[in-house]
């Protein structure tokens, strides 16, 4: 009897041991698979990738909006768009956060849970993300690359969501800081969030979510340092080419700098602030680009407030033209309803790296007119900018050219035709309006002055014929 009980106990203990080992083996296997994938990808030379357009040579497309259709169809939908966008002059597409978030198939990705689940693990109520499967994401990226487009990943590093409750010795309460993702990659506990044994907090907490502590070596290693880090996996395995960092007010600029310096790739931060000097400070500290919220707010003041003199005000592109990513609207901002095409005429003729919003391009505005402005940006808009005139209704600026003739842009926010004498880059030269809004083809005087015109609530862009 004792022998039988001993045998039963031995078998039960062996079952528990091997069951535990199997789970650990599965996690190890997941991580080994990641390294195998990554080493294979590195051998294929995916970073850097040849044949892609130079980021900043064209225009970025924000390839989503808030609450795009759920159901796992978005990656496949975009796959049908990228060839047309490339032909129009787009050089990069910015995708929404691609990994599994707390709300699973309903999430827009800004509540990240498992950075290594791109729609392949059954967790958070779904296998696919809102946008589709990992296979569909990789297919989209491959199609974009074959059309010369860079692919920008939206990265949420400030906060995480979806962890289980654990008793937190630093708060004396239960906190949702126990993260054990199905990928087996980047488990997290109370020690990896604020407060912890390193410090109480960093720059900012978002929405009450668990706030990652980037000063922890473990967190840095998983996010960007290690061979199987989030950054290296996104770039070398999935195929992303650059980064849009979400809510960078929530952590210090050195985080973006360290990430970028470790893995490379174009980097732009969402530092939501209308002060151009503050944006310039952040871009300098992070050694990255920043979205030009100062430009966004001044355009909103100008076109919604019917005062184009606001375009004289300080903006990031005026301080740091190579570090400014300009935009008219995005998935988070209020709309510029009046004069939105005028705002696009502004950013697509001025310095900075302009972004076009998916719904503006595909649904709300005149695609032909936007394509015309993209062509103008890519072919005529070079050199520094000189503002020639501004009042409540009219704005005229000159791009002085360095690899082409440059241009004159004339924006009219009034209800009637306007005409104005302006000083151009060209002496005794025939010029024309490249938008087709004016049929004039005037000849500049020997002193480079010429009269140009613009229709009501419209714009013209002039250059050498």
Give the CB-side neighbour count of residue 322, counting CA atoms within 13 A: 5
Is the distance from CB of 435 to CB of 376 less than 8 angstroms?
yes
Q: Are strands 418-423 and 449-454 parallel, antiparallel or unpaired?
A: antiparallel
* 246 a catalytic residue: yes
Mark the binding-site residues, compressed into ranges.
158, 221, 393
**What residues pair up with 94 in beta bridges, in sequence order?**
62, 152
* Interaxial angle between packed helices 340-347 and 293-304, expressed in degrees from 0 to 180 and rounded to the nearest 10: 140
Give the C-alpha separation, 189 to 384, whole Å.
50
Choosing from 128, 136, 154, 246, the catalytic residue is 246
Mark the binding-site residues for Ca(2+), compressed into ranges.
158, 221, 393
* 202 a catalytic residue: no
Q: Residue 93: which H helix or E strand, with range?
A: strand 90-94
Omega within 30 of 0 (cis) for the link into 195 = yes
Q: Counting Cβ atoms within 10 Å, is residue 197 exposed (0-12), middle (13-18) or buried (19+)?
A: exposed
Q: How many other C-beta atoms lie within 10 A of the C-beta of residue 423? A: 15
CA angle 232, 234, 237 (to 5 degrees): 85
Q: Are strands 210-211 and 159-160 parallel, antiparallel or unpaired?
A: antiparallel
Choosing from 37, 166, 187, 270, the catalytic residue is 270
- List, by residue number, the catalytic residues: 246, 270
């Amino acid at each position: 009897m004792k022998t039988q009980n001993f045998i039963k106990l031995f078998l039960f203990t062996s079952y528990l041991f091997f069951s535990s080992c199997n789970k650990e083996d599965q996690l190890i296997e997941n991580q080994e698979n990641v390294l195998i994938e990554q080493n294979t990808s590195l051998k294929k030379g995916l970073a850097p990738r040849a044949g892609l357009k130079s980021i900043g040579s064209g225009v970025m497309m924000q390839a989503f909006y808030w609450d795009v259709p759920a159901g796992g169809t978005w990656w496949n939908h975009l796959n049908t768009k990228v060839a047309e966008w490339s032909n129009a002059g787009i050089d990069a597409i910015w995708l929404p956060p691609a990994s599994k978030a707390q709300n699973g198939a309903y999430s827009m990705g800004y509540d990240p849970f498992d950075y290594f689940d791109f729609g392949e693990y059954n967790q958070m109520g779904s296998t696919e993300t809102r946008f589709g499967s990992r296979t569909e994401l990789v297919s989209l990226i491959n199609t974009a690359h074959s059309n010369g487009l860079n692919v920008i990943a939206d990265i949420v590093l400030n906060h995480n969501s979806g962890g289980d409750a654990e008793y937190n010795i630093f708060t004396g309460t239960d906190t949702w800081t126990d993260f054990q993702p199905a990928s087996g990659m980047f488990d997290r506990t109370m020690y990896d969030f604020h407060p912890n044994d390193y410090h109480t907090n960093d720059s900012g907490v978002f929405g009450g979510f668990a706030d990652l502590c980037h000063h922890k070596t473990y967190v840095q290693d998983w996010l960007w340092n290690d061979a199987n880090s989030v950054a290296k996996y996104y770039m070398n395995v999935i195929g992303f080419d650059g980064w849009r960092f979400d809510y960078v007010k929530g952590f210090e600029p050195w985080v973006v700098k360290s990430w970028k310096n470790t893995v490379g790739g174009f980097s732009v931060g969402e530092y939501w602030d209308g002060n151009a000097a503050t944006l310039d400070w952040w871009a300098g500290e992070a050694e990255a680009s920043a979205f030009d919220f100062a430009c966004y707010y001044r355009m909103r003041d100008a076109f919604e407030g019917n005062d184009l003199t606001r375009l004289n005000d300080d903006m990031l592109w005026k301080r740091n033209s190579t570090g400014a990513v300009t935009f008219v609207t995005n998935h988070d901002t209020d709309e510029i309803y009046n004069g939105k095409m005028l705002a696009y005429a502004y950013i697509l003729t001025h310095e900075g790296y302009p972004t076009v919003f998916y719904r503006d391009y595909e649904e709300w505005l005149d695609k032909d007119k936007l394509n015309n402005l993209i062509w103008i940006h890519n072919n005529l808009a070079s050199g520094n900018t000189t503002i020639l005139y501004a009042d409540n209704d009219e704005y005229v600026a000159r791009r002085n050219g360095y690899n082409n003739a440059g241009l004159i842009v004339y924006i009219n926010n009034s209800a009637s035709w306007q005409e104005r004498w302006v000083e151009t880059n060209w002496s005794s030269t025939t010029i024309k309006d490249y938008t087709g809004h004016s049929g004039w083809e005037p000849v500049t005087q020997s002193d480079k002055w010429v009269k140009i015109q613009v229709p009501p609530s419209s714009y013209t862009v002039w250059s050498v014929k």
